[in-house]
Structures are given as C-alpha cells and as structure tokens.
Structure 1
Amino acid sequence: MSLIARLRAYAADAFGIAPRAEAVEGDDEHLAATALLVHVARADGVLAPAEAERLARLVQGRYAATPEAAEALIARASAFDAETRDLSVLVEMIGRESDDGARGRLLAMAWSVAGADGAVDEFEEALVWRLGKLLGFDDAGIARARGEGLAERATAP
C-alpha cells in the first residue's frame, strides 16, 4: 500500500470518513505513474501530437481498460502533475512495494514517450535519467530501459 493510500486509510478511520467508492486498487500508483509520463511528455515545453498519442496508447495498455478511461486518467494526471511538479513525490506514490519489473517498465514507457516525436532532447534525456535514479536504477539499468523504450517507439504504430 502506498504512503498516500495509508494516509487516506488513517484519515478515514480517524475521522469516520467512508473511503471513496470510485477508488480501485492501484489507483494512486496509476495516477502517479501517468503523471510521471505526462511530465516527461511536456519536458521540452511542447506536447507534440505523437507524444500525446503514445502517452494515450501506453496508458490504455497498462493502466486503463478503454480509451475513455485512459483519457480520463491522463486528464487527472495532468492536473495532478501541474499541482505537484516534484518527481520525488510522484515516485513515492508509486510505492516501494513495486518490483523492479514494474519500475523498469515505467522507465521504458517514459523513454518511449520522450522519443515519440522522433528525438529525445537534452531536457527529456536529463529528466528521464533522473527519474531512473529516483526509481532506484543504476546507469546500466537506465540505459537498458532506454534501449527498450526507444526500440518500442521504433516498432509502435
């Protein structure tokens, strides 16, 4: 359970508040992961159509069942990213319980989004590299995720 989920559960218990009915297991983690991807997509100051399309496709494939659900999650994540603006808070929300495979997949997704417009500029490169460090990867792990994410970008429609 993530820190945010534990705090919500504590507050609900302490103040007698019923938990949100629409919350689902992993909701906070999915929101935080999507906010990280949104942050990466906007790193160079421009959300190119190719980046928006890649972001929607990745979110639908990993965190949402339908295009509509993906669109709603991206909208929530965009607002959340605008409020947060701190990668470490978003990474903390993902939770320490996430295994290396899930964190590696998220990092590969970030590289894929960064390169969706055909190039990874220096701001995107630095941001995704920092994200990799925050997720607990060494340079070799970050480079491996970069290769996976950019290879996926090359083969994706």
Structure 2
Amino acid sequence: MSLIARLRAYAADALGVGAPDAAPDDAHLAAIALLVHVARVDGILAPSESVRLARLVQGRYASSPEAAEALIARAAAFDAETRDVASLVEMIPHATDAGERGRLLAMAWAVAGADGTVDEFEEALVWRLGKLLGFDEAAIARARGAGLSERYPEPDAGAGPA
C-alpha cells in the first residue's frame, strides 16, 4: 500500500471524511495541500483565509461546502505528513498544462492575500511555489495580480521553466 493510500485511509478513518473511493486523485490532493500550506505558513490561519480556501476548493475540487471541508481536512493531514512543498509539487504531474498550474498558483496567491495582506513568509512561499511549478518571474507576477484580484484567467505559458 502506497504512502498516499495509507494517508487516505487514515484520513477517512480518523477524520470521518468519506471512503477512499470518493478520494480525489493524488494531484488534486497535493494541490489542495499546497493551498492549506500557504494558508498556514505565517502561523496564523485567519478566518478570512479559511473562508477563501473553502470557497476555492469548493469551486475547483468539490461539489458542496461539506465536501470542500472534508477535502481540506484530508489535505491538512496530508500536508502535515509531507516534508515540504517541493514534495507536494512533485505529485502534480509534469504533463499538467501551464493553464492548470497557473490557476493553482493564482489560487495560492488568493489564499495568501485573503486576510488583506501578504506577509513575507507567504510571499516567499508562493514565489517559490511558482518557481517549482516551472514559471518565470513575469508569469509569477501575473499570477499574483490575478490571485490577489480574484481573477483566475488562463495564464499564458510564456511562463516556461525559468
């Protein structure tokens, strides 16, 4: 049984968040865990960050507020078991198109700025996440603008690996 399967089973049993059959794929769980990591990086999970995180997860990965909360709980447990963001990014397939990676990056900026400010820890983490996702400086800056204004356009892939 893989680490992912064990974590899913643990989350399903311990947190009562549903059967592993209803589990998102590894890439989606990793993406949500990245968003959770961003929300908690400054040591304070502000209510506004929780609300924004739940709304983004529901809009992209879940069909209801309850399903979003369950996914966030699973992703939080998964994030706690993962050593760093690079490990989470490695779980997102290299074949994932730039548009999807760009939306994830914009969502990370949206979570970071949900409390009205992006502190230095959040800034450094999301900027590093952009680099790990293969974006150049200009593309990361565009994703920042999109995320902080809550626009999630299709970023152009001119954002190839830096």
Query: Whole-Å Cα distance in 2 between the matches of residues 64 and 131 of structure 1?
Result: 23
SS of the aligned residue for 1:117 comes to coil
Aligned to 2:33: 35
Structure 2 unaligned blocks of 5 or more: 6-18, 152-162
1:57-72 mapped onto 2 (5 Å cutoff): 57-72=55-70
Aligned to 2:51: 53
Give the superposed CA RMSD. 2.0
Query: Whole-Å Cα distance in 1 between the matches of residues 20 and 48 of structure 2?
Result: 35
1:77 aligns with 2:75: yes
SS of the aligned residue for 2:29 comes to helix
Aligned to 1:145: 143
| Runs of 4+ residues deviating >4 angstroms | none
Of 79-88 and 135-144, more deviation after overlay is shown by 79-88
Percent identical pairs in the alignment equals 76
User: Larger % of helix: which?
Assistant: 1
Aligned to 1:96: 94
Closer/same/farther in 2, CA of residues 113 and 138 from structure 1, 3 Å limit: same
Aligned to 2:9: none
Larger gyration radius, structure 1 or structure 2: 1
Query: Whole-Å Cα distance in 2 between the matches of residues 23 and 71 of structure 1?
Result: 14
The Cα of 1:85 is off from its aligned counterpart by 3.2
**TM-score, normalising length from structure 1?**
0.82
SS of the aligned residue for 1:22 comes to helix
**TM-score, normalising length from structure 2?**
0.79
SS of the aligned residue for 1:85 comes to coil
Aligned pairs, number: 137
Aligned to 2:115: 117
SS of the aligned residue for 2:81 comes to helix
Aligned to 1:44: 42
Aligned to 2:16: none
